[in-house]
Amino acid sequence: MEEVKAYIESGILELYVLGQLNAQEHAEVEAMASKYPEIKQEIEAIEIAMEQYALQNAIQPSADLERKILDKIGATESREETIPVAEPIKASERVKETVIVPLNTAPYESKIKSLRIALVACIALLVMSIVALYSAHNQLGDAKEQIAALNLNNEKFTSTVNFMKQSNADLQKIIDMNNDPDWKTVKLAGTVMDPNAKMTVYWHAKGKHVMVDNSKMDLPANDQQHQYQLWAIVNGKPVDLGVFDVKADSTHILVAMKEIGSAAAFAVTLEKKGGSASPTMNQMIVMGNVSI
């Protein structure tokens, strides 16, 4: 998978093996390793590669450094032992002499040499790895920012494409309405509340469909506590056809309202959010009669 491949190539697994991650990043790597066998295998391969690199690039210390280390060890751990040796007793005096026997340091030298080689190789590898991985880690951060920016651009592009598709579909629907005699175009004009207000309603009496045209709507923007409510006047009584917000749905030119089979006129009032059971007459902003 691309996700696993990108994660392996990010350099975070090398930082994990070197112990250079924080607790959250460390837990993230372990979670990914348990989820994806490829990542677990890559971690094992990195550990083996680092061990082989350390052995192949081991640096032999100078003889002077080796002598100094052995001198230090001899001063603290390789203390000389004294063994008394009896000498023949002379007639005039008795003399006690001490024979100095040095301890065997060969086993210590072998262990120290192995540890020294491993230590020097690990330090060299660690320095080079930290520099390389720090750079890779920074590049990973930049890559993540670029990916986030690309995702945002992709979302904007997708939104634009969807808007264009929906707009084209709505425009085609309006064209089809004009060619269908069963669709009526009802123009609503402003009232005393706002003489300049206007909007258009499309109504299909047989199919009972009612559409509001967002592109031909000229109403003051409503606040968050209020919404516009469409009414059909049936036998002199208002019938609720639903609420809408001015330009709230920017992806649709046409907004479907509740169905109605007969109406003499349509009107819009400004009501509290969610609508009212009956229209507030002094808040009627547009109204239009259905032409026969």
47 part of a folded domain: yes
Model confidence at 225, in pLDDT bands (50, 70, 90)?
very high
Q: Which of 56, 74, 103 is the last residue of a domain?
A: 56
135 part of a folded domain: no
Q: Which residues contact 249 (CB under 8 A, 6 or more apart)?
A: 214, 255
Q: Which of 31, 56, 81 is the last residue of a domain?
A: 56
203 part of a folded domain: yes
Is residue 120 exposed (0-12), middle (13-18) or buried (19+ Cβ within 10 Å)?
A: middle
194 part of a folded domain: yes
pLDDT in tens, 226-265: 999 999 999 999 999 999 998 755 667 889 999 999 999 9
146 part of a folded domain: no
187 part of a folded domain: yes
Between 224 and 135, the higher pLDDT residue: 224
Q: Is the pLDDT at 282 greater than 90, yes or no?
A: yes
CA-closest candidate to residue 197, choices 137, 259, 246: 246
144 part of a folded domain: no
| CATH assignment of the domain containing 242 | 2.60.40
Per-residue pLDDT, 80? 46
What residues make up the domain containing 255?
Answer: 183-289
Model confidence at 266, in pLDDT bands (50, 70, 90)?
very high
pLDDT in tens, 60-79: 655 665 666 666 666 555 44
Q: How many domains does the chain have?
A: 2
Q: How far apart are CA 144 and CA 40, in angstroms?
A: 23
- Helix-strand-coil split of the chain, %, nearest 5: 50, 20, 30
Per-residue pLDDT, 126? 75
171 part of a folded domain: no
